[in-house]
């Protein structure tokens, strides 16, 4: 039993070399994140997130700044209060990053969100920052991480890695990891990204943030498609993603959103912080894998 738990823990933390299995037929019936089965209880999901976040902190530079921390927590909690899903306890931390795709926060199961400094610098308004935070929150609220981990266990407990929701997926893409993943997992991940985008829109609006800002940010930050969208891609194509976002925004009743003060001061505070570059990508050695109790 101890060996089984160890293998399961290791599978959560591996990013690179994996075994390709003939499992396309197994996942042909249902690759939807919305309907995905989940073997994890809420309590185990939270414990998993705590363990993974502990390892993640060892590989990045966490910035302890009371002003920025308070700002992120206030903004994040307002958004989380409007998200659907389990009543997770959300926690937001600032990290120095190394240029992750979209400057996207890293979201761990159970409510832990790491916000890169580059996102605060790249956003042109609090609404844009709120949009990316809402996206990360919706990954957690929809339980994408543990739903994918469940799919991993159904196939083989130690061969398919969890694609972390958020910024780590960009690192995997740059390394070509997606090419070794079964198509069912890649499709699940693409759909999870689209679902997090579209769920973020009403969450933003309910929290008093203009959801059009998320579209604006994505239009600037999403890279052009290097090739036509492929079944081998871990992320949806640029136009597919933007069109889905625009459609979601159109479904939200028109509203006038209040201005949000304080964002410029937070950007200035982040720019002044003297931090060391993070290690990119965060790579966790097999011996660092936690033992997970099921």
- For 71-97, write each residue's pLDDT tens digit: 999 999 999 999 999 999 999 999 997
Residue 126 corresponds to which tokens in the numbers above?
Answer: 């609090």
- Is 95 part of a structural domain of the chain? yes
Provide the domain count of the chain. 1
- Is 126 part of a structural domain of the chain? yes
The helix or strand, by DSSP H or E, that contains position 18, with its residue range, turns out to be none
Range of the domain at 88: 2-14+41-278
pTM: 0.76
- Is 292 part of a structural domain of the chain? no
DSSP structural state of residue 63: E
pLDDT digits (tens, 9 = 90+) for 186-245: 787 888 899 999 999 999 999 999 999 999 999 999 988 766 666 667 778 899 999 999
- DSSP labels, 111-171: TEEEEEHHHHHH-SSHHHHHHHHHHHHHHHHTTHHHHHHHHHHHH-TTTS----TBTHHHH
- Is 22 part of a structural domain of the chain? no
DSSP structural state of residue 102: G
pLDDT digits (tens, 9 = 90+) for 11-26: 443 332 222 222 333 3
Residue 253: what pLDDT? 93
- Is 68 part of a structural domain of the chain? yes
Residue 187: what pLDDT? 80
- Is 28 part of a structural domain of the chain? no
pLDDT band at residue 282 using 50, 70 and 90 as cut-offs:
very low
Q: Measured between alpha carbons, how far is 287 from 294 in angstroms, rounded to an integer?
A: 20
Would you say 46 and 53 are in contact if contact means Cβ atoms under 8 Å apart?
no
- Is 293 part of a structural domain of the chain? no
Residue 132: what pLDDT? 98
């Amino acid at each position: 039993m101890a060996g089984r738990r160890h293998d399961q823990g290791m599978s959560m933390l591996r990013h690179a070399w994996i075994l390709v299995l003939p499992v396309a037929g197994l996942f042909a019936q249902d690759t939807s994140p919305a309907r995905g089965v989940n073997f994890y209880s809420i309590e185990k999901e939270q414990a998993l997130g705590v363990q993974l976040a502990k390892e993640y902190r060892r590989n990045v530079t966490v910035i302890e700044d009371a002003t920025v921390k308070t700002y992120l927590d206030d903004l994040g909690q307002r958004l989380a209060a409007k998200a659907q899903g389990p009543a997770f306890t959300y926690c937001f931390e600032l990290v120095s990053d190394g240029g992750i795709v979209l400057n996207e926060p890293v979201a761990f199961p159970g409510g832990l969100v790491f916000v890169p400094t580059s996102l605060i610098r790249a956003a042109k308004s609090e609404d844009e920052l709120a949009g990316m935070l809402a996206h990360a929150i919706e990954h957690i609220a929809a339980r994408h991480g543990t739903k994918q981990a469940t799919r991993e266990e159904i196939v083989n407990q130690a061969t398919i890695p969890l694609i972390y929701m958020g910024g780590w997926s960009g690192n995997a893409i740059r390394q070509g990891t997606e090419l070794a993943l079964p198509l069912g997992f890649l499709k699940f991940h693409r759909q999870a990204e689209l679902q997090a985008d579209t769920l973020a829109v009403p969450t933003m609006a309910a929290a008093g943030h203009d959801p059009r800002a998320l579209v604006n940010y994505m239009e600037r930050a999403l890279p052009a498609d290097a090739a036509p969208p492929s079944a081998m891609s871990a992320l949806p194509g640029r136009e597919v993603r933007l069109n889905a976002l625009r459609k979601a925004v159109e479904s939200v009743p028109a509203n006038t959103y209040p201005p949000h003060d304080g964002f410029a001061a937070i950007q200035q505070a982040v720019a002044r912080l003297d931090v060391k570059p993070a290690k990119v990508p965060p790579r966790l050695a097999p011996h660092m894998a936690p033992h997970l109790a099921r």
